[in-house]
Amino acid sequence: MTNGTAMAQRAKKNFVEAEAASEHPALRDFSQPWIDLNDKTVLVTGGTGSFGNHFVKTVLSHYKPKRLIIFSRDELKQYEMQQRFPQEEHPCMRFFIGDVRDRDRLDLAMANVDYVVHGAALKQVPAAEYNPFECIRTNVLGAENIVYAALRRNVQKVIALSTDKAANPVNLYGASKLASDKIFVAANNLSGADGTKFAVVRYGNVVGSRGSVVPFFKKLVESGAELPITDARMTRFWITLTQGVNLVLSSMEMSKGGEIFVPKIPSTTITGLASLLGPQQPQKIVGIRPGEKLHETMIPADDSHWTLDVGDRYVILASFAAALREAYLNRGAKPVAEGFSYSSDNNPEQLDARGLQHLLAEAYA
């Protein structure tokens, strides 16, 4: 047994046998402030993914929108989504084939749209490293196209989905999302006081989403295979799909333009997650993959000067947004300490076995 694997097995033993006397951190629902989407037109790019499906389900169950537009390039996934949300039952649903690389198509799709949720992206780290031109065209130039189309069509608000990998990026995917974040924040300089408001929501790993480690581990557990652990010390932020959708909706209502919203969500070790999903499964250290971090960061220390605590989330403001900062402070926001950083290893909300079990139960409810 290698030293790394022995370390993983010790970490697993400690996690499984840990006392669960401490209360697990409460999972915030991020539902406030509540936005009113009744009789509004909403467009979701990349809307056939895990987030898009849950977003549509949430909106249809709480509102009566005028139109709910799914904009994506995969006709098969759109067909499958139409079966889940048939137009006979949901006459507001619309499905547009299109690519965020195509500015003209975006311009047509955004006609009379009130709100845009931008979720389309190339997200696989290895694929982005191997296909850098494609990653840039979708994640960076696609963001630019969203901005131009939204400004031209006088969309009220745009919320772009980001990732913890955009903070101090070490891979192209993260770097492209950092560039995207900068584009959306700076777009508010183009829209003026009464134009489109652009903001960003940044969060960590979504439990159970397509490509998540949770279904991957579950599949390995079912087959009786070893669970690959990159490093026994590795930690990650976790959020459920429901939390993610609520965060987007409430941040859209809260946004004045130019914010990066960062939720307060718990962290855990990858070893702890594997131990809970497969307590009897052997774990094997396979080493950190190229472009991967030991711990993820959502707010770097260099951004502490511009970061405010607004209760259930942090807000990173642009350095030039002095008036916006003052407005948040007047509403009760508090500046974070100088040098503050928010990373998965220094997160005060670390999940033990009991807390992680609660998180998974919420995610798969």
One-letter amino acid at 66 equals K
Q: Is the pLDDT of residue 176 over 60?
A: yes
Q: Is the pLDDT of residue 168 over 60?
A: yes
Q: Is the pLDDT of residue 311 over 60?
A: yes
Query: What 3-state class would DSSP assign to 134?
Result: helix
What residues pair up with 146 in beta bridges, in sequence order? none
Give me the torsion for CA of 59, 194, 176, 58, rounded to 10°: 0
pTM here is 0.90
Q: Which of 184, 176, 194, 210 is nearest to 118 (CA)?
A: 184
The pLDDT of residue 73: 96
Q: How many CA atoms within 13 Å lie on the side-chain side of 343?
A: 19
Q: Which of 245, 316, 313, 352 is nearest to 21 (CA)?
A: 352
The pLDDT of residue 11: 43
**Range with top average pLDDT, 109-118, 119-128, 343-352:** 109-118
Structure tokens at 210: 């397509």
d(C-alpha 344, C-alpha 134), whole Å: 29
CATH among 3.40.140.10, 3.30.300.30, 3.30.379.10, 3.40.50.720 for 24-206+238-265+300-345 = 3.40.50.720
Average pLDDT over residues 184-203: 94
d(C-alpha 160, C-alpha 158), whole Å: 6
pLDDT averaged over every residue in the chain: 91
Q: Is the pLDDT of residue 139 over 60?
A: yes
Per residue in 67-117, pLDDT tens?
Answer: 999 999 999 999 999 999 999 999 999 999 999 999 999 999 999 999 999
Structural domain boundaries of the chain? 24-206+238-265+300-345
| 64 compared with 279, residue with greater pLDDT | 64
Q: Which of 293, 278, 306, 310 is nearest to 344 (CA)?
A: 293
Helices 50-62/75-84 angle, 10° precision: 30
Q: Is the pLDDT of residue 30 over 80?
A: yes
| 287 compared with 199, residue with greater pLDDT | 199
Q: Measuring CA to CA, how many Å separate 33 from each of 217, 266, 353? A: 35, 21, 31
The pLDDT of residue 7: 43
Kindly indicate the confidence band of residue 45, based on its pLDDT and cuts at 50, 70 and 90: very high
Neighbours of 282 (CB within 10 A): 14
The pLDDT of residue 288: 87
Kindly indicate the confidence band of residue 2, based on its pLDDT and cuts at 50, 70 and 90: low
The pLDDT of residue 25: 52
d(C-alpha 350, C-alpha 268), whole Å: 6
| Catalytic residue of the set 12, 123, 165, 293 | 165
Kindly indicate the confidence band of residue 212, based on its pLDDT and cuts at 50, 70 and 90: confident
Catalytic: 165?
yes
Helices (H), 27-171: 50-62, 75-84, 103-109, 125-130, 132-136, 142-152
Q: Cβ distance 145 to 103 under 8 Å? A: yes
Q: Is the pLDDT of residue 50 over 70?
A: yes
State the residue for tokens 């537009």. Answer: 69
The pLDDT of residue 18: 41
d(C-alpha 256, C-alpha 52), whole Å: 24
Q: Measuring CA to CA, how many Å separate 255 from each of 33, 62, 243, 327, 342? A: 10, 21, 17, 11, 21
Strand positions, DSSP E, 86-233: 93-97, 115-118, 157-163, 197-203, 205-206, 227-229
Percentage of residues of the chain with pLDDT beyond 90: 74
Q: Is the pLDDT of residue 349 over 90?
A: yes
Q: Cβ distance 72 to 48 under 8 Å? A: yes
Q: Which of 36-50, 207-221, 222-236 has the lowest mean pLDDT?
A: 207-221
State the residue for tokens 């026994």. Answer: 232
Query: What 3-state class would DSSP assign to 75?
Result: helix
The pLDDT of residue 361: 87
Q: Is the pLDDT of residue 355 over 80?
A: yes
